[in-house]
Structures are given as structure tokens and as C-alpha cells.
Amino acid sequence: MKFPVDCSLPGFEQVIFDQIALFEFNSFQVGVNALDDALKISIRNHLEKAISAKFNVPVQQEFPDLYLLLYYDRGFFELQPKSIFVEGKYKKFSRDIAQTFHYCFRCKGRGCSSCNFKGKLTEQSVQELIELVFFEAFNSNESKFHGCGREDVDVLMLGSGRPFVIELLFPKKRTVNLSELEEKVNLLLKGKIELSGLNFVAKERVVEIKNTSYDKVYSALCSYSGKLSQKKVDSFVGKKISIVQRTPERVEKRRVDKERKKYAIIKKCVLLENNTFIIELLASHGLYVKEFISGDGARTNPSISSLIGVNAVCNLLDVIEVCFENSEKK
């Protein structure tokens, strides 16, 4: 955020005060860019004392709420508020909502026939839906969404929810009642998204949450071709299956093509009518479950298809629990 100021005029500090007054902050730091080192130090000391007296807040050299950088010789200053980080869990009840905003890979946001000229891959995302409420609360206009893994657009996120941290950039307000904010989000987005456990966290929590691996329990409705018996599928229930999975074809454009060692435990499998079955399984972090079911042209080995001896595909997939007790650091 850049603002012009003529530091040669008497009382130029008032221009800075007027902009600072728009921000809520409990600490600040001043930096001055000037060719004259002595003048730079003098101006910085002057501004620190003036701002501290005007707003009754202390100077803080490390991680202040607000950083003022004055370009003395060039006639402008910048205000850089510290980002706010809010952690929580989200549930997703729609098969048309992505986790985060992504530009269209083809047009890079300009708009094309592939994205219906919207410039993005999906109409809605968890990030975009909740940030609108957060922006109003924190008087911010930009966010970054840090999830503990992600589910596909067409996958429901149920159970107790998936951990995330939303980072609010350039906030003007810092004191927000998160219980009320959570309630507002859940009311406005009822039937689409539900948040829980919102709390303020430090920046370091982003690294922790992105580097922690969780097993997950999935439920999948699958269809198959050929003949299959309940006895056949029951023979694999309860067994831990070691899996070698090559990056699936559907994501190899944006993921490194390599083999990963994963595991899964089939908790139950029930045959239904019309050559369908429901399977519930515990999967290690990062397992592509749809491909574990189909085999993905033998890129996943073994697969549900190879184990039961028929070609199976996943029609609907839900995350029904994130297993926090089985977490591990990468």
C-alpha cells in the first residue's frame, strides 16, 4: 500500500498519521530509505516517537503488526500490516466446490472456451466462499488458503472436517470474534460448507499443517463389470495392503511423475444391485483412492480391481474421517 508524501513540508507526519489511523495495530516498526544515513536515522527516530505518542503503541523490531517504510527521497511511503492466520476445520457438502481458487491452465485467467470464459477451473471453492466473510470481518482483500492435503472437486469432506489455515493479507482490522465469524459463515454457506474450531495461530502453523500426514477413511460407491461374490470381497477385509502408486494420468500435468509407496486397509465392502458396491477403506496420506480402485492402467499396484478380479471404477467418493490420532510429520 503506497501513499505519496512530501517530507520537505512542515507537519508531513500528519499525512502518515491519517493513513496509519485506518489500521488496527498493537505494535509497529519504522524503516526509512534515504541517501543521507544521518538523515535516515534522524527521521526514523522522529517518526517512531511521534507514532508511539500519537497512537499509544510501542515500537517492536521483530514481527510488528504494522511496518512503515518511508522512501524519503522519492516522496512516498508504504504501510505493510502483518498477515493474520486463522486455523480451523472445514466440511464440504457439495461435489461442485474445489478447495482453492485455481486459474485455468489453458488461458491463465484470461478466459477461454475451456473454462467458459471465467478464467478459473471451478465456479466456486472453499477458499473463495469463506474469504468473502473473512474479508469483511478483517477489512482485508486478499487471502492464501493452506490446507492439510486436499480432496477432488467432486469429493465430499465429511466427519470432523479437514484442517486448514487461512491467511488474511493486508488486514486493517485485527480484533475479531471468531466464534461469531464461524457462526456467520456456517449460516451463509449452509448446505455447502461448515467451519469449526476457528482460532488465531502463528505463521509457523502453516508449515506444520502442510507437513503433517494424516490417514483418512473413505467411502466409495463403485461399479464393476463381470461377476463378483461377497465372499471374494470379504477375503480382503481387514488386511493391510501395501501399494506402489505411480502419479495418476489425470494429475501428471501438475505433479511429478514418480512412484510412491502407500497402504490401505479395507474396512468393509458390500455388494449392491446393478453391479455396484460400496467400499470403506482406511488410506495413508497421499493415496489416490480413485486410482487405487480402478488400477489406472496398472499404474497403481495392487488395486481393488486387481484384487477382486474385475474392472471397477469409483463413481462417488467421500472423505468420512481424517484420523488425527495417526498423524506424522513428513
> What's the pLDDT score for residue 8?
86
- 201 and 226 co-located in one domain: no
> Across all residues in the chain, what is the average pLDDT?
92
pLDDT of residue 120: 58
State residue 326's pLDDT score.
64
Beta bridge pairs of residue 259: 246
**325 Cβ neighbours under 8 A, 6+ residues apart:** none
Question: Which of 81, 107, 131 represents a domain boundary (last residue)?
Answer: 81
**Pair 270, 155 in one domain:** no
Among the listed ranges 20-34, 116-130, 231-245, which one has the minimum average pLDDT value?
Answer: 116-130
- Examine the domain organization and report whether 234 and 315 are in the same domain: yes
Are both 89 and 55 inside the same structural domain?
no
Domain termination residue (choose one: 156, 180, 210):
210
Count of domains forming the chain: 3
Average pLDDT over residues 283-296: 95
Whether 63 and 158 map to the same domain: the answer is no
Q: For residue 134, give the nearest of 142, 146, 125 by alpha carbon.
A: 142
Which grid coordinates are listed for 328?
Answer: 506424522
Give the predicted TM-score (pTM) of the model.
0.89
* Helices 178-188, 126-138: crossing angle, 10 deg rounding: 140
d(CA 17, CA 33) in angstroms, rounded, equals 18
Same domain, 202 and 117: yes
Closest CA relative to residue 68, chosen from 18, 117, 118, 112: 18
Q: Is the pLDDT of residue 257 over 90?
A: no
Question: Which CATH number fits the domain that encloses residue 37?
Answer: 3.30.2130.30
- Of 81, 103, 135, the position where a domain reaches its end is 81
Q: Does one domain contain both 190 and 235?
A: no
Q: Are residues 104 and 189 in the same domain?
A: yes
Q: In angstroms, how far is CA 33 from the centroid of its own chain?
A: 36
Whole domain around residue 303: which residue ranges? 214-329
CATH number at residue 113: 3.30.70.2510
The answer for residues whose C-beta is within 8 angstroms of residue 273's C-beta and 6 or more apart is none
Most confident of 7-11, 95-99, 108-112: 95-99
Does one domain contain both 135 and 240? no
- In this predicted structure, the answer to whether residue 108 has a pLDDT above a threshold of 70 is no
318 is catalytic: no
pLDDT for residue 122: 67
Report pLDDT for 153: 92
- The active-site residue, picked from 152, 154, 215, 234, is 152
pLDDT at 47 over 70: yes
Q: What is the CATH number of the domain that holds 291?
A: 3.30.70.3190
Residues 41 and 91 in one domain: no
**Do residues 124 and 197 both lie within one domain?**
yes
Q: pLDDT tens across 171-182, in order?
A: 999 999 999 999
Nearest-angstrom CA–CA distance, 277 and 112: 39
- Do both 176 and 98 map to the same domain? yes
